[in-house]
């Protein structure tokens, strides 16, 4: 038995919002792979839960009229990886979430939970930051959209307001068009381990594949929340595709990141793998985009 005070099961999004307003102290539960574990550990013992697990309208990936890619917040990791739209437009996200935990966790865990937990090591988070994802929240006043970088407030805290739930993650057309990316999860084990560092890079090349039009890079566990390395991005924009650029780009990430010492890894080591991962992920992204270096 879980030590919960009460369970409220939402029937649809409107009902979830009503339950949130009626029980402001209650915690939202989606797939439950964070919430139930923390309840077992005593961290969330005795709380009330609002379950949104039954909201099938929040599952699945679709393309909106203006080309925006819409990922329902309850879409599980395994469904994201298998989805043809994800494979076509943002394959790196499918690859990143295919490195979460193990197969059962990938059937259980949702992308909404992976972002609403505010955890810097979350395997989807760096890629979503690197692709300027937009978070859609639905509350008493309707729908509110927010860039993912603003959604994260501090470690473990995201901007979900009174009565709100997260309903989708959106990737705008300009973000995915002709863009290719690569994610590197550095962890001690290949499975069932949390990232020591997560690095997600993506690039868009010029038509002749010789120039970087846009490069973006984000890290998980390089700071209390996932973050972009803007200095490296600015450095690469408009430059010819070369090995020297890959090296300079990777070195420049040091300007923007601030990893910490933890039992998993020392600060210096995280700095080192951040540079190395940025370089490798940049090279791989360029290759995926059809460039040579």
Residues that bind other proteins (CB under 8 A): 1-7, 9, 29, 32-33, 36-37, 40-41, 46, 51, 53-54, 78, 101-105, 107-108, 190-192
C-alpha distances out from residue 197 to 40, 52, 171, 226, 240, Å: 27, 30, 23, 10, 28
Q: Which residues on neighbouring strands pair with residue 200, listed in sequence order?
A: 183, 218
Q: Does 100 bind ligand FAD (CB under 6 A)?
A: yes
Q: How far is the CB of 84 from other proteins (least distance, A)?
A: 16
Q: Which does 123 bind (CB under 5 to 8 A by kind): other proteins, ligand FAD, none?
A: ligand FAD
The CB-side HSE value for 72 (13 A sphere, CA atoms) comes to 17
Measure the N-to-C terminal CA separation of the chain; round to a whole number of Å.
Answer: 57
Which lies closer to ligand FAD via its Cβ, residue 103 or residue 238? 103
Q: Which residues on neighbouring strands pair with residue 204, listed in sequence order?
A: 214
Q: How far is the CB of 12 from ligand FAD (least distance, A)?
A: 13
Q: How far is the CB of 50 from ligand FAD (least distance, A)?
A: 8
Q: Which does 190 bind (CB under 5 to 8 A by kind): other proteins, ligand FAD, none?
A: other proteins
Retrieve residue 201's tokens: 């890079």
Which lies closer to other proteins via its Cβ, residue 33 or residue 202? 33
Q: Which does 7 bind (CB under 5 to 8 A by kind): other proteins, ligand FAD, none?
A: other proteins
Q: Does 19 bind ligand FAD (CB under 6 A)?
A: no
For tokens 């700095």, what's the residue? 271
Q: Which does 191 bind (CB under 5 to 8 A by kind): ligand FAD, other proteins, none?
A: other proteins
C-alpha distances out from residue 238 to 233, 234, 245, Å: 10, 9, 11
Q: Which residues on neighbouring strands pair with residue 166, listed in sequence order?
A: 137
Which lies closer to ligand FAD via its Cβ, residue 103 or residue 240? 103
How far apart CA 34 and CA 198 sit, in angstroms, is 19
Q: Which does 127 bind (CB under 5 to 8 A by kind): ligand FAD, other proteins, none?
A: none
Q: Which residues on neighbouring strands pair with residue 218, listed in sequence order?
A: 200, 228
Q: Does 92 bind ligand FAD (CB under 6 A)?
A: no
Q: Which does 160 bind (CB under 5 to 8 A by kind): other proteins, ligand FAD, none?
A: ligand FAD
Q: Does 28 bind ligand FAD (CB under 6 A)?
A: yes
The DSSP letter of residue 141 is T
Q: Which does 21 bind (CB under 5 to 8 A by kind): ligand FAD, other proteins, none?
A: none
Q: How far is the CB of 116 from other proteins (least distance, A)?
A: 17
Pairs from 92-95 (Cβ < 8 Å, separation ≥ 24): 92/127, 92/180, 92/181, 92/182, 92/183, 92/200, 92/202, 93/124, 93/127, 93/128, 93/131, 95/182, 95/183
Residue 125, classed as helix, strand or coil, is helix
Q: How far is the CB of 272 from other proteins (least distance, A)?
A: 27
Q: State the CB neighbour count (10 A cutoff) for residue 107.
A: 14
Which lies closer to other proteins via its Cβ, residue 72 or residue 101? 101
Q: Which stretches of the chain bind ligand FAD, using CB under 6 A?
A: 27-35, 37, 52, 73, 100-101, 105, 108-110, 112-114, 116-117, 122-123, 160, 165-166, 192, 194
């Amino acid at each position: 038995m879980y030590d919960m005070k009460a369970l409220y099961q939402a029937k649809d999004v409107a009902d979830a919002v009503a339950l949130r307003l009626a029980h402001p102290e209650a915690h939202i539960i989606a797939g439950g792979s964070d919430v139930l574990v923390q309840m077992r550990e005593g961290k969330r013992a005795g709380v009330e839960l609002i379950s949104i697990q039954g909201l099938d309208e929040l599952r699945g990936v679709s393309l909106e009229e203006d080309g925006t890619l819409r990922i329902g917040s309850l879409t599980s990791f395994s469904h994201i990886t298998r989805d043809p739209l994800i494979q076509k437009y943002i394959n790196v996200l499918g690859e990143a979430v295919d490195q979460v935990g193990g197969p059962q966790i990938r059937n259980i865990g949702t992308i909404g939970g992976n972002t609403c937990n505010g955890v810097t090591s979350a395997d989807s988070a760096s890629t979503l930051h690197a692709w300027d994802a937009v978070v859609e929240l639905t509350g008493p006043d309707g729908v509110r959209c927010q860039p993912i970088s603003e959604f994260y407030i501090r470690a473990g805290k995201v901007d979900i307001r009174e009565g709100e739930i997260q309903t989708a993650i959106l990737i705008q057309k300009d973000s995915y068009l002709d863009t290719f990316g690569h994610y590197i999860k550095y962890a001690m084990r290949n499975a069932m381990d949390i990232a020591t560092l997560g690095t997600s890079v993506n690039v868009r090349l010029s038509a002749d594949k010789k120039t970087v039009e846009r490069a973006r890079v984000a890290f998980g566990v390089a700071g209390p929340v996932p973050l972009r390395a803007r200095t490296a991005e600015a450095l690469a924009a408009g430059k010819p595709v070369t090995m020297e650029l890959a090296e300079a780009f990777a070195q420049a990430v040091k300007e923007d990141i601030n990893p910490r010492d933890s039992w998993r890894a020392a600060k210096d080591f995280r700095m080192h793998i951040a540079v190395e991962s940025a370089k490798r992920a940049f090279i791989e992204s360029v290759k995926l985009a059809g460039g040579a270096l």
